[in-house]
Amino acid sequence: MARLTGPVQRSMGTSPSRTAQQAYVHLRRNWLAAGGGVLVVIVFAAALLAPWISPHDPAQIDVKSILLGPSIQHPFGTDELGRDVLSRMIWGSRVSLEVGFVAIGIATFIGILIGAAAGYYGGAVDSVLMRFVDIMLSLPTIFLVLVVIAILEPSIINIMIVIGLTSWMEPARLVRAEFISLKEREFVTAARALGAADGRIIFRHILPNGLSPILVSATMGVGGAILVESALSFLGLGVQPPTPSWGSLLSSGKDNIEIAWWLSVFPGLAILVTVLGYNVLGEGIRDALDPRQRER
């Protein structure tokens, strides 16, 4: 099929590459978003380089070092089994980021499919799919996750799947709104006139022009998924020992909070900083992709 050129391309406004360049410049000028990006990069680098930067084996038990406070040898102290808390936090960042990215990837994929179908076809398809979204939104997400995890065997794979299957509603609503706005634009009309199939129009022409809110939602959703995973691990329904995770570190810390404050403080700060970094970065990306914000 012939590619859309000339007036049709110009009707789409600023090219995607030009828009991305302008958004990047605006994002760099936003010091708060840049700070969030730095936090995200630091945590991601720690997870990626865990085998090389971890000062100790996270599973090594040392009965002579039980509940030692922060020191040069153990900057974040040790736990009730003498394991180095810093090492376990570094390796735990891998679990948290893996859950966050995979779960939100599943949620975004489902949300795009449902939102695109509802926004593009409209009518009865839109009504049925949006009522299903409303039903899912009316269910308490954390309660639904707890029920499913309690029925299934707690594992990192089940956690990622369950979080993904209970987090797709917001991306679906955002995609639907973008498709409703874009499907009557000139370049879509031109694609139909050239005989393009619905699938090609949806994924080749409309979706690339409506990725901005999806990107923002996915970025902020990673932080939410990390929080859910931490909550599940804190309750003993998440990642199972001896695999370290920030939530399980918090859970062990609550049993010794009166004599070992570091077991709760440092993992809690790691969760706070990571989630804050993703949320602030997501806000910055949203502002950078908004033409009205770029003009200020």
pLDDT, tens digit only, all 296 positions of the chain: 444 444 344 344 445 555 666 666 667 777 888 888 999 999 999 999 999 999 999 989 888 889 999 999 999 999 989 999 999 999 999 998 999 999 999 999 999 999 999 999 999 999 999 999 999 888 877 787 888 877 877 788 888 988 999 899 999 999 999 999 888 888 888 988 888 888 899 988 898 888 888 988 999 999 999 998 888 888 888 887 788 889 888 888 888 888 889 999 999 999 999 999 999 998 888 877 765 555 55
Task: Quote the pTM value.
Answer: 0.84
What does the pLDDT read at residue 2?
42
Q: Kindly state the tokens that stand for 139.
A: 């269910």
- CA 65 to chain CA centroid, nearest Å: 36
Q: Are 62 and 83 in contact (CB under 8 A)?
A: yes
SS3 of residue 52 by DSSP? helix
DSSP 60-98: ---GGGTTPPS-SSSTT-B-TTS-BHHHHHHHHHHHHHH
Q: Kindly state the tokens that stand for 207.
A: 């979706």
How far apart CA 149 and CA 166 sit, in angstroms, is 12
How far apart CA 276 and CA 65 sit, in angstroms, is 33
- Neighbouring CB atoms inside 10 A of 11's CB total 14
Q: Kindly state the tokens that stand for 143.
A: 């309660």
Which CATH number is 25-294's, of 3.40.50.12780, 1.10.10.60, 3.40.50.300, 1.10.3720.10? 1.10.3720.10
Q: Give the residue from 40, 238, 248 showing the smallest Cα distance to 148.
A: 238
How far apart CA 8 and CA 191 sit, in angstroms, is 9
Listed as own residue / partner, the contacts of 248-256 with beta carbons closer than 8 Å and 24 or more positions apart are 248/92, 249/79, 249/85, 249/88, 249/89, 249/92, 252/79, 252/80, 255/80, 256/67, 256/80
DSSP 94-137: HHHHHHHHHHHHHHHHHHHHHHHHHHHH-HHHHHHHHHHHHHHH
How far apart CA 255 and CA 89 sit, in angstroms, is 18
Q: Is 140 left (phi over 0), alpha (psi -120 to 50) or beta?
A: beta
Q: Are 173 and 115 in contact (CB under 8 A)?
A: yes
SS3 of residue 197 by DSSP? coil
**DSSP class of residue 3?**
P
What does the pLDDT read at residue 236?
81
Phi, psi of 196 (to 5 degrees): -70, 140
